[in-house]
Amino acid sequence: MDELILIDTHCHLDLEAFDADRSAALDRARSTGVRAFVVIGFAPERWRTALALAESTPDVFATVGLHPTEAARYDEALERALTGAASHTRVRAIGEIGLDYYWDAAPRPLQREVFLRQIRLAKALDLPFVVHQRDAAEDVLAVLSDAGPPHQGVMHCFTGDIDYARACLELGMYLGVGGIITYPRANALREALRWAPVDRLVLETDSPYLAPVPYRGKRNEPAYLLAIAAKLAEIRGVPIREIARITTENAVRLFGLSPDRLGAGNVEARVRSHELRGP
């Protein structure tokens, strides 16, 4: 029987929210077919925790970067430390980096400069990058355009419409598909993800945030990735197995994971129960 293999390309398993049951949460996800986890280190304290988890867990990988809400901390010393952390063998990307005009925790020109510098760093290190964007859609495109596309990166938690998806894809970006696709009001997003080429989509939970329906409002965890895959399959009118296979190939390609290490157990029963229960 074919096995269903998924990759959670964006989660925060190192956060306190998982202190009580981290290894159980990993096991629950594995039993639904998740075979790799990309844990996002978005500030120096989180580089340490993400890397520690990746070192001790063979199917966990890490990213390192400075989140836009932390942009005021960026200086030469931090850039040197980031470069050093990025050379760790378990690091697969720079991120999450980008612009956040919702929280506006750092001046916008500074956010743009820090974003641009980290894109350049990712390129110099030959790593992809993970983009966080909130209320800054146009400026993110402007920085990406200035930074020498085509890029190797992903628009984490993509929430745009077809026009925005097209602009991101033209710059070389992948689209990160998360729990928001299950929310009732996300019609323009669903339309964009029906339209987008499937070979540019990757799945993510953003755990512990943004749990998909029917878990909305609870702590999100990587086991719920299957509900996101099921919804994407429904939106595109294809079997969940096809969505799993292609998004996993995409994630393997984007993050340089080794497919031979993504072995899997038989998860047929689990898949069925999720399909039946799915949103």
Determine the angle formed by the axes of helices 76-86 and 108-124, rounding to 10 degrees: 40
What's the rounded Cα separation, in Å, for the pair 5 and 254?
Answer: 16
Q: Which residues in the 40-59 window bind Zn ion by CB under 5 A?
A: 40
Where do we find the tokens 């799915």? Answer: 278
Residue placing its CB nearer to Zn ion in the complex, 40 or 240 = 40
Counting residues that bind Zn ion (by CB under 5 A) gives 1
Provide, rounded to whole angstroms, the least separation between the CB of residue 28 and Zn ion: 20
Residue placing its CB nearer to Zn ion in the complex, 131 or 257 = 131
Start-to-end C-alpha separation, the chain: 25
Provide, rounded to whole angstroms, the least separation between the CB of residue 239 and Zn ion: 29
Which stretches of the chain are DSSP H helices?
22-31, 44-56, 76-86, 108-124, 137-146, 162-170, 187-195, 225-236, 240-255, 268-277
Provide, rounded to whole angstroms, the least separation between the CB of residue 22 and Zn ion: 17
The count of other CB atoms within 10 Å of the CB of residue 93 is 29
Site track for Zn ion across 202-241, x = CB under 5 A:
----------------------------------------
Residue placing its CB nearer to Zn ion in the complex, 38 or 143 = 38
Residue placing its CB nearer to Zn ion in the complex, 220 or 247 = 220
What's the rounded Cα separation, in Å, for the pair 35 and 276?
Answer: 22
Residue placing its CB nearer to Zn ion in the complex, 97 or 168 = 97
Token readout for 249 is: 């190939």
Stretch that binds Zn ion, among 36-44, 47-55, 75-83, 214-222 (CB under 5 A): 36-44
Provide, rounded to whole angstroms, the least separation between the CB of residue 4 and Zn ion: 24
Residue type at 112 in one-letter notation: R
Provide, rounded to whole angstroms, the least separation between the CB of residue 40 and Zn ion: 5
Q: Which residues bind Zn ion (CB under 5 A)?
A: 40
